[in-house]
Structure 1
Amino acid sequence: MSSTAGQVIRCKAAVAWEAGKPLVIEEVEVAPPQTMEVRLKILFTSLCHTDVYFWEAKGQTPLFPRIFGHEAGGIVESVGEGVTDLQPGDHVLPVFTGECKECRHCKSEESNMCDLLRINTDRGVMLSDNKSRFSINGKPVYHFVGTSTFSEYTVVHVGCVAKINPAAPLDKVCVLSCGISTGLGATLNVAKPPKGSSVAIFGLGAVGLAAAEGARIAGAARIIGIDLNPKRFNEAKKFGVTEFVNPKDHDKPVQEVIAEMTDGGVDRSVECTGNVNAMISAFECVHDVSSSDSSL
């Protein structure tokens, strides 16, 4: 049992007080985990564009003060009542789309949109009592997507924790919490490119590189990376990208360029930027021969 179990822990956290204003390193109080909750010691956290998007609060309801962060690696410090499959000392990754393991989605092989723990960007409190586990001088600081990893300690629902091999380096695998699993999973589990197929990857950031790796693992013969930054191509080769297209190099829509390169279009397309124009291009660059082909 951890020496701090059951006690409030004081630690440092990067707190967002207002939309778009610099984060401030504050001393916060982190309450003990309640029923079906786990308190984690965060050792490494990375930055995802989603954190920036909600920090800017341009397209959603502002909720401040808040502790952002959702890509991280850490160690279980203590567990709340009812937690049986995790114990202090376990190496874990927090997961923003959790699994209760009991609802229809969790029991389905085709969905991970848990009724209880699916991502909810508007919720800033814990499910068990609608209260925050973070506070500063007695005033609550809100959670973010059930993880809040920009803190030395955080409290999450047990269904939002994935236990990992302690031999895995936490400074590397922390990105598995979001970017890598998003791109890799989208390609392998949804797009499912057949062996020998052609795949277009729009955007070669972390998610796009992971998507390319998924296409490589699946055995795709041609993996075409599309990005506005030509400096990304060499890195993308390491993840299986075989060809590179920069839309700025052409005077026609990039989907037409890809269609010409592939005799009518690719077999699969994975869009990894969130840009609406890129989504349209990704959809239109897929050939229309078979109804089984898909664009993601």
Structure 2
Amino acid sequence: AVVWEAGQPLSLETIQVSPPQPKEVRIKITHTSLCHTDIFFWKGKDGGAWFPRILGHEGAGVVESVGNEVAGLKPGDHVIPSYMAECRECELCMRGNTNICEVFRFNFMSGVAYSDHKCRFSISGKPVHHFFGLSTFSEYTVVHSSCVAKVNPESPLDTICLLGCGVSAGFGAAWNIGKVKPGDSVAVFGLGTIGLAVIKEMTNGGVDSSYECVGNVEVMLTVLQSAHPVWGRAVILGIDEIGKKLCFSPLELHDGRKLKLAPFGGFKVSDVSKLVDKFMNN
């Protein structure tokens, strides 16, 4: 499904998908879901620089082919592609306290492939841009191997595709970032997929942890102020329009209140298979 211009209806098109280049994997997407972030970028709220493009970043499928220099993946493997790449060699990947990769840092915002800055999609020779390095709204997509998690082949792809973003983001925000404990008081602002995943993970003066799952700076400020001023943790998962700023007094953090972001819930690509196993065992 191709978006030719910001805000225009998605158009079903026959496209050409190039073979995978070195360190790339071509995946047959069997299932994909819709995230609010897809709508955000469909509207061009990121500045609208990358059109035409193929959206989608919550998907699952089967490896169709691999390029040279790809290790640990082969045709037939069941996988979840992830926008949070993990080279497993840089300083940030080697640290245990972040899921940001120095090599691929924010490269997913680009509309082209990481390796050569070209598109792997085209229509009649005209390039079609990538989205988050994944573009799961295509029957076939080409993804860098650092963005691919091999999963249990017995797991249901129609369900685990949700672990590509929303469920992992919400679950990890509560588990990894908010570090919620039994007995903690919690506030969740925005009960979409991400917000419900936060609630799923957690069964006098402010809550122990609060979560913004809407993508609105005014709600973000409310989330911050609802956290306890001494030990509260405010976690931001949503994104607002380019140019919007979150403004607050430094005194909001003076006594120890913490404000944290939660890209992909703090999970690394290598954690995704463990999440699938956790789902399969419950």
1:39 aligns with 2:26: yes
Query: Which residue in 2 is equivalent to 1:265?
Result: 206
Question: What are the ranges of 5 or more consecutive residues in structure 1 without an aligned counterpart?
Answer: 1-13, 217-239, 241-262
In 1, the alpha carbon distance for the partners of 2:227 and 2:113 equals 42
Structure 1 contact 42–154 (Cα < 8 Å) conserved: yes
Corresponding residue to 1:189 among 176, 185, 196: 176
Corresponding residue to 1:100 among 76, 79, 87: 87
Query: Which residue in 2 is equivalent to 1:19?
Result: 6
Letter in 2 for 1:149: T
Query: Which residue in 2 is equivalent to 1:50?
Result: 37
1:274 aligns with 2:261: no
1:73 aligns with 2:60: yes
TM-superposed CA distance for 1:59, in Å, is 3.8
Query: Which residue in 1 is equivalent to 2:104?
Result: 117
Query: Mean alpha-carbon deviation: is it higher for 44-53 or for 152-161?
Result: 44-53
Letter in 1 for 2:15: V
TM-superposed CA distance for 1:112, in Å, is 1.2
1:91 aligns with 2:78: yes
Q: Give the number of equivalent residue pairs.
A: 237
In 2, the alpha carbon distance for the partners of 1:292 and 1:196 equals 20
Letter in 2 for 1:267: D
Q: Write out per-residue CA displacement over residues 80-111 of structure 1, whole angstroms, 9 at most, x where no aligned residue.
A: 10111000000000101111111111111111
In 2, the alpha carbon distance for the partners of 1:289 and 1:36 equals 47
**TM-score of the two chains, using structure 1 as the length reference:** 0.77
In 1, the alpha carbon distance for the partners of 2:82 and 2:115 equals 18
Query: Mean alpha-carbon deviation: is it higher for 64-73 or for 272-281?
Result: 272-281
TM-superposed CA distance for 1:122, in Å, is 4.2
In 2, the alpha carbon distance for the partners of 1:58 and 1:47 equals 17
In 2, the alpha carbon distance for the partners of 1:96 and 1:163 equals 14
Q: Please give the residue correspondences for 1:1-296 in structure 2 after superposition, counting only pairs within 5 Å.
A: 14-120=1-107, 122-214=109-201, 216=202, 240=203, 263-290=204-231, 294-296=258-260
TM-superposed CA distance for 1:123, in Å, is 1.3
In 2, the alpha carbon distance for the partners of 1:60 and 1:159 equals 27
Structure 1 contact 99–160 (Cα < 8 Å) conserved: yes
**TM-score of the two chains, using structure 2 as the length reference:** 0.80
Secondary structure of 2:13 counterpart: strand
Tell me the percent identity: 54
TM-superposed CA distance for 1:49, in Å, is 1.1
Letter in 1 for 2:149: A
In 1, the alpha carbon distance for the partners of 2:133 and 2:105 equals 10
Question: What are the ranges of 5 or more consecutive residues in structure 2 without an aligned counterpart?
Answer: 232-254, 261-282
Structure 2 contact 83–108 (Cα < 8 Å) conserved: no
In 2, the alpha carbon distance for the partners of 1:294 and 1:81 equals 44
Structure 2 contact 229–256 (Cα < 8 Å) conserved: no
Q: Write out per-residue CA displacement over residues 188-247 of structure 1, whole angstroms, 9 at most, x where no aligned residue.
A: 111112332111111111000111122x2xxxxxxxxxxxxxxxxxxxxxxx3xxxxxxx
Structure 1 contact 91–166 (Cα < 8 Å) conserved: yes
Letter in 2 for 1:96: Y
TM-superposed CA distance for 1:269, in Å, is 1.1
